[in-house]
Amino acid sequence: MSKLKIAIQKSGRLHDDSMKILKEIGISIDNGKDQLKASARNFPLEVFYLRNGDIPQYLKDGIVDAAIIGENVLIEKGNGISIIEKLGFSKCKVSVAIPKAQPYTSLNDLNGKRIATSYPKTVNQFLEKEGIDAQLHIINGSVEIAPNIGLADAIVDIVSSGSTLFKNGLKEAEVLLKSEAVLAVSPKISDENQSTLRKLQFRLQSVLKGRQNKYVLLNAPNDKLENIVKILPGMNSPTILPLAKEGWSSLHSVINKNEFWDVIDELKENGAEGILVCSIENMVI
């Protein structure tokens, strides 16, 4: 049986998050220290550990069938590669940053300036769209140092927490795009491996849905059920079970984590008691 070949970043936060979600979807990978390729014990999968910037070419050439990769890298280097799932982790921004002491009012301040970046395609497209005339210096590596050594007036680079900018005396001025980890697929993937990829994607979707929701159990008097049911629609409708205590019922449902505290407050106001909240490991719909 053919194995699905998937690339992930060889080190760093994206590597750690990718390995974590593969573990959460039940895939056990036998990999030793400094191994560049490893197989899964319980799924037809082979993992390639590669430099993030090299992965788009491996996808284009069909050396790997799929990849967990930063969306920003695909925008820069992944022309013709399809994204089939956004994974919700390793989020970052690609931003313009300038020295802290430098005033900034609008994008027009970048006209005539020198910008250092590792993302020339992304930056050129952005500047062209905004009608800004600036000079690019392409740097592979520590872009943040460019303003300090007089090589550039500004930089465009990945920003996560902003701590690296702060340490180098820079501040974020504009956000070009927002990025997160995605599941990308090679245009040369075989039909057999496409079928395996769909199984992998289904597992990923189940974990991602679980991360986005909370399981809620609560008790309520029967005369308050109608109002509480309106607050807790669940996936179709909440589960309602009678309690041993006469006139009371137990309700089980799911709440989106982004609405969680507002919903809990509303439930309490409408008579809910004994509210128990649980994380969801997987959510199959």
* pLDDT of the chain, 285 residues: tens digit per residue: 689 999 999 988 999 999 999 999 999 987 666 778 999 999 999 999 999 889 999 999 999 999 999 999 999 999 889 999 999 999 999 999 999 999 999 999 999 999 999 999 999 999 999 999 999 999 887 898 899 888 899 999 999 888 889 989 999 999 999 999 999 999 999 999 999 999 999 999 999 999 999 899 999 999 999 899 888 765 667 889 999 999 999 999 888 888 888 889 999 999 999 999 898 888 887
The answer to whether residue 284 is domain-embedded is no
CATH number of the domain encompassing residue 122: 3.40.190.10
Residue 263 lies in a domain: yes
Residues 45, 185 within the same domain: yes
Residue 194 lies in a domain: no
CATH number of the domain enclosing 222: 3.30.70.120
Specify whether 83 is located in the same domain as 105. Answer: no
Task: Give domain status of residue 97, yes or no.
Answer: yes
Number of domains composing the chain: 3
Q: What is the pLDDT at residue 156?
A: 94
Q: Which residues contact 62 (CB under 8 A, 6 or more apart)?
A: 186, 187, 188, 189
With b meaning 16 or more CB within 10 Å and e meaning fewer, what string describes 127-151? beeeebebebeebeeebbebbeeee
Contact call for residues 154 and 135 (beta carbons, < 8 A): no
Q: Are residues 249 and 272 in the same domain?
A: yes
DSSP string, 116-154: EES-HHHHHHHHHHHT---EEEE-SS-GGGTTTTTS-SE
Same domain? For 73 and 33 the reply is yes
Terminal Cα distance for the chain, rounded: 29
Q: How many CA atoms lie within 13 A of 85 on its CB side?
A: 20
What per-residue confidence (pLDDT) applies to 233? 60
Give the pLDDT score at 137: 92
Q: Considering the domain boundaries, does residue 254 fall inside one?
A: yes
Domain encompassing residue 275? 213-279
pTM metric for this prediction: 0.84
Q: Answer yes or no: do 103 and 174 share one domain.
A: yes
Whether 115 maps to a domain, the answer reads yes
| 184 and 56 co-located in one domain | yes
Tell me, yes or no, whether 50 and 184 share the same domain. Answer: yes
